[in-house]
């Protein structure tokens, strides 16, 4: 009986390992939305990033009151090197995501999505513009926007404006 179980486990192991080695899902990069275009050209080559990552329930602060701050995330450069970790809230009562200032460029955000778990989202930060990534399932883009103007997770959740033309 034990040998039969070992045989089945041995046969299943390669299938499990092949499933774990599959290629990561490629997303088109998220860029600044149409409303974030600067009115005046910036000269410092810096842009801004806001990530609405999955929310975490904070500890009770009294009277059955809870807050749901956004979870922290990592910013990596295009080569995968860590740029910084963003806690994404100032305190357990802060429910607004941090706005991060970054040099213009391409980055990868590693954050938790409400429905997809940990995801890696490529982003493009442009000088003077705000790039916003929505992973908390609370953003609903305008219904009249063509789907090619947005970036989606595999579950069809819109996460931001596509940086692709």
Per-residue pLDDT of 124-138, as tens digits, reads: 999 999 999 999 988
Give this prediction's pTM: 0.76
Within-domain flag for 111: yes
Q: Per DSSP, what are the bridge partners of residue 106?
A: 124
Q: Does residue 71 form part of some domain?
A: yes
Inform me whether the pLDDT recorded for 17 exceeds 60: no
On whether residue 68 sits in a domain, the answer given is yes
* Domain that includes residue 92, residue range: 27-162
* Percent over 90 (pLDDT), the chain: 47
Contact 28, 163 (CB under 8 A): yes
Residue 36's pLDDT is what? 59
70 falls within a domain:
yes
Name the band, by pLDDT with cuts 50, 70 and 90, for residue 19: very low
Report the share of the chain in percent with pLDDT over 70: 73
Return left, alpha or beta for 141; rule: phi > 0 is left, psi -120 to 50 is alpha, else beta.
Answer: beta
Alpha carbon separation from 23 to 26, 29, 131, 154 (Å, rounded): 9, 17, 26, 14
Q: Is residue 152 part of a domain?
A: yes
37: in domain: yes
| Residue 61 CB partners (closer than 8 Å, separation 6+) | 67, 92, 93
**Looking at residue 7, what is its pLDDT?**
47
Query: Is residue 97 situated within a structural domain?
Result: yes
- Does 18 map to a domain? no
How many domains does the chain contain in total?
A: 1
């Amino acid at each position: 009986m034990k040998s039969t179980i070992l045989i089945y486990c041995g046969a299943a192991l390669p299938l499990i390992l092949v499933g774990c080695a599959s290629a990561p899902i490629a997303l088109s990069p998220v860029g600044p939305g149409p409303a974030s275009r600067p009115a005046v050209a910036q000269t410092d080559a810096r842009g801004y990033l806001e990530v609405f990552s999955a929310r975490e329930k904070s500890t009770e602060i009294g009277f059955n009151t809870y807050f749901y701050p956004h979870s922290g995330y990592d910013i990596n450069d295009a080569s995968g090197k860590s740029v910084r970790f963003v806690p994404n809230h100032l305190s357990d009562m802060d429910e607004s995501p941090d706005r991060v200032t970054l040099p213009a460029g391409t980055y990868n955000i590693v954050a938790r999505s409400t429905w997809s778990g940990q995801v890696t989202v490529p982003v493009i930060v442009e000088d003077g513009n705000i790039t916003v990534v929505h992973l908390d399932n609370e953003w609903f883009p305008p219904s009249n926007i063509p789907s090619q103007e947005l970036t989606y997770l595999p579950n069809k959740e819109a996460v931001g404006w596509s940086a692709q033309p």
